[in-house]
């Protein structure tokens, strides 16, 4: 107990010593060893029993849900903190262990906002995998600096029987491939600067499970050779532990590397803030953020929410970019537009959140008492919020969900709201009109985990449908303006629709253009759209960016516009949420209000008049040029022994899939294929049977594309019948 208090005390002392803080995460392809690695770091810091560290059967310390233990995989990101001594100074390491399965990779995107550096683990035997590339993209998008850890080196010795020379060759290959990826993905300024250097200790290798690590400089310092690593596996367990602890302790090598090669929050915020915050960098608040100013205004971004199942209390974890946080403080939530009071401020002592009196800028921490959403910017006064945290993939697998007992419906709505809050990668759609509640996730496993948690953790019996695919409605031609008249015939709206430019659509998807209504000139939006080649005249007319669609007001001199514009935008958003063809969401459209006629008297142009008229105008314009259905597709990289190449290509074409690339080397065949999501249900088991369990496939990209025309009518009919829509609805 006394020792526990001492550790918390140490952490409390260090949280204000900004230059000695490192905020980091593990990231990797699935099962490359992140959690074993995290467990061993915690154990070495005395934060958990060493004997269990990294032992799957005993359960990882960071696994907080029973489903993680059952499936032996990480689902949620876990925050931990520890203290490390380096060259006579103490450092506070705030670390987030992230999941590797692509269904949970939204947790990786969100963790990246909170941290400044990441250790990317790569299995020495498997090498760089598709998800390695994805996590690098996620890191670099947030200007998080990557370092490389080559893990599972024991497999090279025990399974692949490599010689010391072959082992070095493999390291060099992985390290070169890793740098090539950085070169390819990073922004121009970081392509060179963030290359990892094996000679300088920016790369380490070892075995997270066996608790050892080395880097070239460390080997030099300790006089260890590659041959010694092989001897390690001839020793008995106790000898190996003793040798390892003395010559190649994982925590020492890795955390020294972190302290030396990753930035403190003060250094990192100088270049991260311009990337993740859209406000004026010359303003006082902007300077405070850039400087990670402990005396500045509080600026905290929520990156993860956990709801206590018993008390219902919300704990919001995230990153404090400026100022401090103390219990009792009044704060402002910029997205929610509400003032709330912080009740508790918590830091992680190992895996355990514990209350403290105050925390200063530059830390990863949690607060209780406030009720917001992930991505919220918490300040003192209203400020420009941080840019939205956008995940690279959208949830495309959907199920209808209902309570087993109909009387539980209100409770289900409440439970779903909580589920969506704790996991923002889940999309919840509650339709009170039709009673159809939809839950969308990243994949079948994601939905399975969520459904199971609703039953076991939220105590609610539910029924779900088989998976449904949600399509998108759009146009591929420009329309003339159709007139939409209000029921009282006193108001008319003339709106055109056309496809939105590809580059504008992509920028919205990447989160570079904030999806919201624009009431006044917004410098960032102006600058971004003009870089994309949109004319100033057009940018001036942008009024709303909503779910990948935009609305422009091209009218001039209508005096009552200010009174009706919000109503027009409401109706625009209603159509986007449920399009005219099959009530599926719309995407990638540009709408322009070309002309408007309004009644003089405000009483004759309320919502009951404006909504239907605007909706009619938009629907008619879409129908005029033909509404097209887009379907979600996934690009997968399928790897298998060459013998199964024929079986895999046949499987892909049986699923309406397209082969994009096929390559072959000594390790087997790699097939890149694009397959409609509607054909992917049961994919994992189909692939297993086609390849006798030898094939693996990883999601590498996702997009919406036009459906084959001959299938569209049939799909529309099915969707409409599922939704119970009549002819003219």
Ligand X SMILES: Nc1nc2c(ncn2[C@@H]2O[C@H](COP(=O)(O)OP(=O)(O)OP(=O)(O)O)[C@@H](O)[C@H]2O)c(=O)[nH]1
Task: Name the site residues for Mg ion (rule: CB under 5 A).
Answer: 34-35, 74
Q: How far is the CB of 135 from ligand X (least distance, A)?
A: 10
Task: Select from 146-154, 225-233, 449-457, 539-547 the region that touches ligand X (CB under 6 A).
Answer: 146-154
73 binds ligand X (CB under 6 A): yes
When CB distances to ligand X are compared, the closest residue is: 100
Tell me which of Mg ion, ligand X, none is bound by residue 33, counting a contact when its beta carbon lies within the kind-specific cut-off of 5 to 8 angstroms. ligand X
155 binds ligand X (CB under 6 A): yes
Cβ atoms of 25 and 97 within 8 Å: the answer is: yes
35 binds ligand X (CB under 6 A): yes
28 binds ligand X (CB under 6 A): yes
Distance CA 534, CA 513 (A): 13
Kindly give the interhelix angle for 561-577 and 607-625, rounded to the nearest 10 degrees. 50
Tell me which of ligand X, Mg ion, none is bound by residue 209, counting a contact when its beta carbon lies within the kind-specific cut-off of 5 to 8 angstroms. ligand X
Tell me which of Mg ion, ligand X, none is bound by residue 154, counting a contact when its beta carbon lies within the kind-specific cut-off of 5 to 8 angstroms. ligand X
Neighbour count for residue 182 (Cβ, 10 Å): 22
Q: Which is nearer to Mg ion, 60 or 589 (CB)?
A: 60
Q: Which is nearer to Mg ion, 76 or 620 (CB)?
A: 76
Q: Which is nearer to Mg ion, 35 or 377 (CB)?
A: 35
Q: Which is nearer to ligand X, 29 or 418 (CB)?
A: 29
| Binding residue (CB under 6 A) for ligand X from 56, 380, 438, 725 | 56
Q: How far is the CB of 430 from ligand X (least distance, A)?
A: 31
Cβ atoms of 460 and 403 within 8 Å: the answer is: yes
Q: Which is nearer to ligand X, 32 or 472 (CB)?
A: 32
Q: H or E element: which one contains 177?
A: helix 164-185
Distance CA 25, CA 144 (A): 10
Return the bridge partners of 414, or none: none
Cβ atoms of 544 and 572 within 8 Å: the answer is: yes
Task: Select from 147-155, 368-376, 483-491, 583-591 the region that touches ligand X (CB under 6 A).
Answer: 147-155
Integer angstrom CA distances of residue 255 from 61, 91, 244, 614, 665: 19, 9, 16, 59, 36
Q: How far is the CB of 421 from Mg ion (least distance, A)?
A: 23
Among 165, 162, 145, residue whose Cα is nearest residue 153: 162
Tell me which of Mg ion, ligand X, none is bound by residue 32, counting a contact when its beta carbon lies within the kind-specific cut-off of 5 to 8 angstroms. ligand X
129 binds ligand X (CB under 6 A): no
Q: Hey, CA dihedral for 214, 219, 224, 227, is it positive or negative? A: positive
Tell me which of ligand X, Mg ion, none is bound by residue 322, counting a contact when its beta carbon lies within the kind-specific cut-off of 5 to 8 angstroms. none
Residue carrying the six token digits 């998800």: 131
Q: Which is nearer to ligand X, 103 or 376 (CB)?
A: 103
Q: Which is nearer to ligand X, 102 or 648 (CB)?
A: 102
Q: Which is nearer to Mg ion, 34 or 304 (CB)?
A: 34
Cβ atoms of 151 and 211 within 8 Å: the answer is: no
Distance CA 330, CA 251 (A): 39
| Binding residue (CB under 6 A) for ligand X from 7, 22, 31, 453 | 31
Q: Hey, CA dihedral for 183, 37, 361, 203, is it positive or negative? A: negative
Tell me which of Mg ion, ligand X, none is bound by residue 207, counting a contact when its beta carbon lies within the kind-specific cut-off of 5 to 8 angstroms. ligand X
118 binds ligand X (CB under 6 A): no
Q: How far is the CB of 511 from ligand X (least distance, A)?
A: 25
Any long-range contacts for 558-566 (C-beta under 8 Å, 24+ apart)?
558/596, 558/598, 560/598, 560/602, 560/605, 561/596, 563/602, 563/605, 564/596, 564/598, 564/605, 564/610, 566/517
Count of chain residues binding ligand X (CB under 6 A): 21
Q: Which is nearer to ligand X, 209 or 304 (CB)?
A: 209
| Binding residue (CB under 6 A) for ligand X from 20, 33, 350, 702 | 33
| Binding residue (CB under 6 A) for ligand X from 109, 138, 151, 363 | 151
Task: Select from 205-213, 248-256, 340-348, 628-636 the region that touches ligand X (CB under 6 A).
Answer: 205-213
Q: Which is nearer to ligand X, 100 or 580 (CB)?
A: 100
Site for ligand X in 455-484 (CB under 6 A): none
Q: How far is the CB of 102 from ligand X (least distance, A)?
A: 10
Q: Which is nearer to ligand X, 33 or 695 (CB)?
A: 33
Sheet holding 482-485, edge to edge: 482-485, 492-499, 589-597, 549-553, 542-546
Cβ atoms of 598 and 491 within 8 Å: the answer is: yes
Distance CA 594, CA 612 (A): 17
Task: Select from 203-211, 423-431, 567-575, 721-729 the region that touches ligand X (CB under 6 A).
Answer: 203-211
100 binds ligand X (CB under 6 A): yes
Distance CA 208, CA 38 (A): 8
Report the chain's C-alpha Rg in angstroms: 27
Q: Which is nearer to ligand X, 244 or 363 (CB)?
A: 244
Binding mask 207-226 for ligand X (x = CB under 6 A): xxx-----------------
Q: How far is the CB of 63 from Mg ion (least distance, A)?
A: 8
For 414, phi then psi, to 5°, come to -65, -45
Cβ atoms of 124 and 205 within 8 Å: the answer is: yes
Any long-range contacts for 554-561 (C-beta under 8 Å, 24+ apart)?
554/592, 554/593, 554/594, 555/593, 555/594, 555/595, 555/596, 558/596, 558/598, 560/598, 560/602, 560/605, 561/596
Tell me which of Mg ion, ligand X, none is bound by residue 364, counting a contact when its beta carbon lies within the kind-specific cut-off of 5 to 8 angstroms. none
Q: Which is nearer to ligand X, 72 or 602 (CB)?
A: 72
Distance CA 14, CA 594 (A): 60
3-class SS letters over 496-542: EEEECCHHHHHHHHCCCCCCCECCCCCHHHHHHHHHCCCCHHHHHCE
Task: Select from 2-10, 29-37, 464-472, 689-697 the region that touches ligand X (CB under 6 A).
Answer: 29-37
Return the bridge partners of 552, or none: 542, 592
Residue carrying the six token digits 């390695």: 132
244 binds ligand X (CB under 6 A): no
Task: Select from 150-158, 391-399, 511-519, 705-713 the region that touches ligand X (CB under 6 A).
Answer: 150-158
Tell me which of ligand X, Mg ion, none is bound by residue 152, counting a contact when its beta carbon lies within the kind-specific cut-off of 5 to 8 angstroms. ligand X
Please return the burial class of 463, using the count of CB atoms within 10 Å of its CB with bins 0-12, 13-18 and 19+: exposed
User: Which positions touch ligand X (CB under 6 A)?
Assistant: 28, 30-36, 56, 73-74, 99-101, 151-152, 154-155, 207-209
């Amino acid at each position: 107990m006394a020792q526990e208090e001492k550790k918390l005390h140490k952490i409390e002392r260090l949280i204000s010593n900004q230059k000695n803080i490192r905020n980091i995460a593990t990231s990797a392809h699935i099962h490359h060893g992140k959690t074993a690695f995290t467990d061993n770091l915690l154990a070495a810091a005395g934060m958990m029993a060493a004997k269990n560290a990294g032992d799957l059967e005993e359960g990882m310390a960071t696994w907080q849900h029973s489903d993680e233990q059952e499936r032996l995989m990480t689902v949620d990101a876990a925050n931990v903190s520890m203290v490390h001594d380096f060259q006579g100074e103490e450092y506070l390491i705030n670390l987030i262990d992230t999941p590797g399965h692509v269904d949970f990779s939204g947790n990786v995107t969100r963790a990246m906002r909170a941290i400044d550096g990441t250790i990317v683990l790569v299995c020495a035997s498997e090498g760089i995998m598709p998800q390695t590339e994805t996590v690098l993209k996620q890191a670099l998008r947030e200007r998080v600096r990557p370092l490389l850890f080559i893990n599972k080196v024991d497999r090279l010795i025990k399974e692949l029987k490599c010689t010391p020379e072959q082992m070095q060759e493999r390291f060099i290959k992985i390290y070169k491939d890793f740098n090539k990826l950085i070169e390819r993905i990073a922004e121009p300024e970081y392509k060179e600067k963030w290359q990892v250097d094996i000679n300088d200790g920016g790369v380490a290798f070892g075995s997270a499970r066996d608790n050892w690590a080395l880097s070239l400089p460390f080997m030099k310092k300790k006089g260890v050779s590659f041959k010694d690593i092989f001897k390690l596996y001839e020793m008995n367990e106790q000898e190996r532990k003793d040798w390892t602890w003395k010559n190649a302790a994982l925590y020492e090598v890795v955390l020294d590397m972190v302290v030396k090669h990753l930035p403190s929050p003060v250094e990192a915020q100088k270049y991260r803030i311009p990337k993740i915050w859209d406000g004026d960098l010359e303003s006082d608040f902007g300077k405070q953020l850039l400087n990670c100013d402990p005396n500045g205004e509080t600026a905290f971004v929520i990156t993860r929410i956990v709801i206590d199942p018993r008390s219902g209390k919300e704990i919001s974890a995230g990153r404090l970019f400026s100022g401090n946080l103390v219990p009792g403080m009044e704060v402002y939530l910029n997205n929610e537009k509400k003032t709330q009071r912080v009740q508790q401020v918590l830091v992680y002592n190992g895996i355990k959140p514990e209350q403290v009196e105050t925390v200063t800028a530059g830390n990863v921490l949690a607060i209780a008492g406030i009720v917001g959403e992930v991505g919220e910017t918490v300040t003192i006064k209203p400020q420009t919020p941080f840019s939205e945290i956008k995940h690279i993939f959208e949830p495309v697998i959907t199920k209808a969900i209902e309570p087993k007992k109909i009387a539980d419906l209100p409770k289900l709505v409440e439970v779903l709201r909580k589920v969506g809050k704790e996991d923002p990668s889940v999309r919840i759609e509650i339709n009170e009109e039709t009673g159809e509640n939809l839950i969308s996730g990243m994949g079948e496993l994601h939905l399975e985990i969520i459904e199971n948690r609703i039953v076991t953790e939220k105590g609610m019996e539910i029924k779900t449908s088989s998976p449904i695919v949600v399509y998108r409605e759009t146009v591929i031609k420009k329309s003339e303006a159709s007139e939409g008249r209000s029921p009282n015939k006193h108001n008319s709206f003339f709106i055109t629709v056309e496809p939105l430019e590809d580059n504008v659509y992509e920028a919205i998807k990447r989160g570079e253009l904030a999806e919201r209504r624009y009431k006044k000139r917004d410098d960032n939006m102006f600058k971004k759209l003009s870089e994309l080649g949109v004319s100033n005249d057009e940018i001036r007319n942008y009024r709303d960016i909503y779910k990948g669609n935009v609305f422009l007001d091209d009218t001039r001199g209508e005096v009552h516009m200010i009174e009706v514009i919000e109503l027009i935008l409401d109706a625009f958003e209603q159509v986007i949420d449920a399009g005219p063809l099959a009530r599926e969401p719309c995407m990638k459209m540009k709408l322009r209000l070309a002309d408007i006629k309004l009644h003089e008297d405000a009483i004759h142009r309320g919502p009951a008049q404006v909504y239907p008229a605007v909706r009619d105008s938009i629907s008619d314009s879409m129908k005029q040029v033909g509404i097209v259905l887009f379907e979600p597709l996934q690009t997968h990289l399928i790897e298998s022994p060459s013998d199964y190449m024929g079986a895999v290509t046949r499987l892909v074409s049986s699923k309406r899939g397209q082969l994009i690339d096929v390559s072959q080397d000594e390790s087997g065949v790699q097939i890149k294929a694009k397959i409609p999501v509607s054909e992917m249900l049961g994919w994992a088991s189909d692939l297993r049977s086609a390849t006798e369990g030898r094939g693996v496939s990883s999601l590498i990209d996702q997009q919406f594309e036009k459906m084959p025309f001959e299938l569209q009518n049939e799909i529309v009919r099915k969707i409409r019948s599922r939704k119970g829509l009549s002819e003219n609805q």
